[in-house]
Structure 1
Amino acid sequence: MEEGDCPYVEQREAAQDADVLIGHPTHALSQDLVAGRVLIFDESPGDAYQTVFPATARTRAVNQFLQGYDKLDINRIDQVEALALLNEVGGVESEELVEELSSIDAATRQTEVLKSNGHAEAPSITLATFLLKKQQSTDLTGNQTNDTYAASLRQNLDLDYVQLADGMSVVDDLNSGELHIRRPPDLSDASAIVGLDGTPQVAVWKGKLGLDEMDHRQLLCDSCRRTYLAEYVGYDLVQTTTASNPYSSGNHVNRAQCYGLLEAVHDEYNHPVPIITSQKAEERLFESTPNEAYLGEPPITEFVTDIKHYGDLKSSNEFEGKPVGVVLGSPHPGDAPIQIAAAFEGYPALREGKGIDLDYGIKDSPFLQHFREDKVAQAIFRFGRSSPATVYVHTAAIPDWLQELAQQPNDGETVVRTRKDGERAVIKSLRNEGGGEVKEIAARASLDYTQRHVREMLARLFEAGLVDRTDSQPYEWTPANLVSASIVADVSLPGKD
């Protein structure tokens, strides 16, 4: 190939000469592209500078590197770990290992990518494995460690932390064996750095970009933001619960609540609506065989048009212009991702409380907010966007400034009350077989409840205006508004009569 014929080299040279570059956050890893430019990051770079190595992948990468590196007479990760304890293995001393691995240049790292199971960060992973094992050995020997922060992580969270001389940070999950590494770009030669984010957490931004300081400037005050959203765009937010409803795992999904809410919103607007929730929650809600009575009458699919998940909302405009939407539950990835994110920034995140009162002992809860409340806000704004939209939010995990805009349940009010099986059965019977006296209704083959239980259910339905009764006993009970009532839940939407 003649010099100048390589398309990659030609495009790279063209990029260096361009006045404006539009690219991915990983392009900031090239100092040639960064130098002298104003860098604008549209939303957080996410995990662009972070890599997770499961235990097996970590072992493969280290072994592959050592077996092809002839300057060190060891070839397995277990020898590296042993060296941290013994200071000499196979003629290799610990100081020699650290010195050699710290001096490896970029060219050597790049050749690792070409190997089977190889990785450019394999030399750094090898060094980190040694340093982490060295730190952890102090817990076994009882020797005092100089890194009290890392010791605190090990003692309280089963995490460990080390920062390499080249700027790479490492968090070791001692429970799962996963190694989390982060190598932010060197932005020191940039003319200026600007981050654009509607739900910024400064602690998160600083760490992901490798910055010691960041000046946060909010363009609109909280009150101004609410005015803009309500009066100029036309957002109407309806909060339907005072619980956080963590739905990421799917384990805490209340199917009857979600079914009743979606049915009520469908009936309010006389058409199915789009929803945003977690992938696991969708799987739980749309199981082919519901395990609760009457959840399939009608099937929940009749209330829903489209579904998006919390994990695929970034830059999504799929629900733009949709005038009605529902956000079901809040995302919570579990303690480990939040604690690992905080560990990178020097915070031991110790869990306290649960639900909406969950806290990790860090002022203003930037990491929990980043994973939970901020994601809920982003979900809300997928609907409408530049046009009016009513969004029903089935979680209380909403940023404080935005929650003030929402219609909220009154103190002690339950927006969605799921009906017990007996109440559901009585409604179904009255719909299909009509009314009658209590003893007649209780004797029906479709019901398996005592007269007393049936009488209590009828009294509740009477108070709700769903059945009528004669003025004198024995009461004759007749359906009133049961046709439009949900069998599964009693729903009272805030702001709706």
Structure 2
Amino acid sequence: MDQRRQIAPTVAWNTKDTTVHLLSVPNFESANGVVGLDGTPTKRMWDTAFGVSFDHERVVPEERMNDYLTDALDIHVHQYGAHNDNGGTRPYSSGVHLYADTDEKLLHGMGMHFDAEPDVITTKAAIRRYDEDDRVLHHADEYRNFASVKSSNAFRESTLGAVLGSPHPGDETFKRWGAFMGLPIRRLGDNSPDDKGPNLEYGRTGDEIYQHYVHNQVLQSILRFGRDGQEAHVLVTSMCTPSWVEPEPLTMTTFNGADRRVIGCLRDTDGRTQSEIVDETGMDQGNVSRSLTGLEEQGFVGIGGTDNSGNLRRTWEGV
């Protein structure tokens, strides 16, 4: 993108598709000063958007930010993949490459571990896709997209949350900001245009813009939970958090799809026979039998007597 400053407002011209973007800067000529409050500021973007050279002052030093998150705000971040090889950026903005099976497993596991359904923040595209089959969000209480929770207190009383995937507006957004700043922004190295992995590089200014749109937005979503002072636990399924965030390990039991269906059939009941479970879940006898055997061996399922015909009633014993 090229920048044109011949007239106000500032113009960014996309020479590839011949689109024009205008940056309309507010008029602060009569103001004695301008104060901007932002927990995750990108100074150069603030300067560009408002036409003011801000002085950046931190209230909490970066080396104390994780202490502020856990001690002052009482928010505990659990990051899937932080302690193994399952991590990734999980860009969910397109809604194309979703980790539905993993997301369902994790949300179900959180519900079992904390005995409450988590509230979920993810992309609008992911919500649209997950609404279609009602598998993943079936295990959530409420859910919202990244854009709708900015400066929101909707989850202020929520003590259990999950941030699924990460936002990624696309390289054109980064290039447009660069044009407004009079700087070329492009993806560096051998990364393909479709790659949104953890090692993307856009140069110094481009990296700042990328961090703002991806990592800082995930952090802002984390901060939506537990805003009334209660202890909150938030599971993040991507590696897209600022470097100072120190995720805490979370040991919770997760179950495969067949087990989840059987558990859902048994929970909140006084027990059911195998035939009743088959009828309720639509699974075949063999899969139900194998699932019950495995859950019983692990101590999650017990025997709660028999029905009038002498068939064993299986009961959910909890995790």
TM-score of the two chains, using structure 1 as the length reference: 0.49
Could you say what secondary structure the match of 1:192 adopts? coil
Task: Name the CA shift for 1:301/1:192 in 2 (closer, same or farther; >3 Å).
Answer: closer
Matched, 1:253 2:98: yes
Matched, 1:361 2:203: yes
Aligned to 2:118: 273
Deviation (angstroms), 1:334: 1.2
**RMSD of aligned residue pairs (Cα, Å):** 3.2
| Preserved CA contact (<8 Å) 2:121 2:221 | yes
Q: Of 21, 38, 47, which aligns to 1:180?
A: 21
Could you say what secondary structure the match of 2:175 adopts? helix
Task: Name the CA shift for 1:361/1:328 in 2 (closer, same or farther; >3 Å).
Answer: same
Matched, 1:240 2:80: yes
Task: Name the CA shift for 1:279/1:227 in 2 (closer, same or farther; >3 Å).
Answer: same
Amino acid in structure 2 at the alignment position of 1:310: F
Task: Name the CA shift for 1:329/1:217 in 2 (closer, same or farther; >3 Å).
Answer: same
| Partner deviation per Cα, 1:336-380 (whole Å, 9 max, x = no partner) | 112111221122111134411112122581110111111111100
Equivalent runs, 1:72-471 vs 2, <5 Å: 159-165=1-7, 167-211=8-52, 213-241=53-81, 242-288=87-133, 299-352=135-188, 353=191, 354-363=196-205, 365-387=207-229, 388-401=231-244, 403-404=245-246, 406-407=247-248, 467=294
Could you say what secondary structure the match of 1:357 adopts? coil
| Residues in 2 aligned to 1:396 and 1:233: alpha-carbon distance in whole angstroms | 21
| Preserved CA contact (<8 Å) 1:261 1:416 | no
| Residues in 1 aligned to 2:56 and 2:206: alpha-carbon distance in whole angstroms | 15
Deviation (angstroms), 1:257: 0.8
| Residues in 2 aligned to 1:232 and 1:263: alpha-carbon distance in whole angstroms | 29
Could you say what secondary structure the match of 1:358 adopts? coil
**Bigger RCO of structures 1 and 2 (CA < 8 A, at least 6 apart):** 2
| Residues in 2 aligned to 1:311 and 1:203: alpha-carbon distance in whole angstroms | 21
Q: How many residues align?
A: 270
| Partner deviation per Cα, 1:221-258 (whole Å, 9 max, x = no partner) | 12333223212321111011321110111112111011
Deviation (angstroms), 1:408: 5.7
| Partner deviation per Cα, 1:312-357 (whole Å, 9 max, x = no partner) | 1222111002111111111001111121112211221111344111
| Preserved CA contact (<8 Å) 1:243 1:396 | yes
Q: Which deviates more, 330-339 or 301-310?
A: 301-310
| Residues in 1 aligned to 2:121 and 2:160: alpha-carbon distance in whole angstroms | 12
Deviation (angstroms), 1:204: 0.6
Task: Name the CA shift for 1:416/1:356 in 2 (closer, same or farther; >3 Å).
Answer: farther
Which 4+ stretches in 1 moved above 6 angstroms? 415-419, 425-429, 431-434
Amino acid in structure 1 at the alignment position of 2:3: Y
- Structure showing greater radius of gyration is 1
Whose helix fraction is larger, Structure 1's or Structure 2's? Answer: 1
Deviation (angstroms), 1:418: 9.5
Deviation (angstroms), 1:178: 2.4
Amino acid in structure 2 at the alignment position of 1:357: N
Task: Name the CA shift for 1:222/1:271 in 2 (closer, same or farther; >3 Å).
Answer: same
| Residues in 2 aligned to 1:418 and 1:390: alpha-carbon distance in whole angstroms | 20
| Partner deviation per Cα, 1:385-432 (whole Å, 9 max, x = no partner) | 24221111111110112x22x22699xxxx99996xxxx679989x99
| Residues in 1 aligned to 2:286 and 2:171: alpha-carbon distance in whole angstroms | 46
Q: Which deviates more, 352-361 or 389-398?
A: 352-361
Task: Name the CA shift for 1:389/1:207 in 2 (closer, same or farther; >3 Å).
Answer: same
Amino acid in structure 1 at the alignment position of 2:67: T
| Residues in 2 aligned to 1:225 and 1:427: alpha-carbon distance in whole angstroms | 38
| Structure 1: gaps spanning 5 or more residues | 1-158, 289-295, 435-443, 448-457, 468-477, 485-496
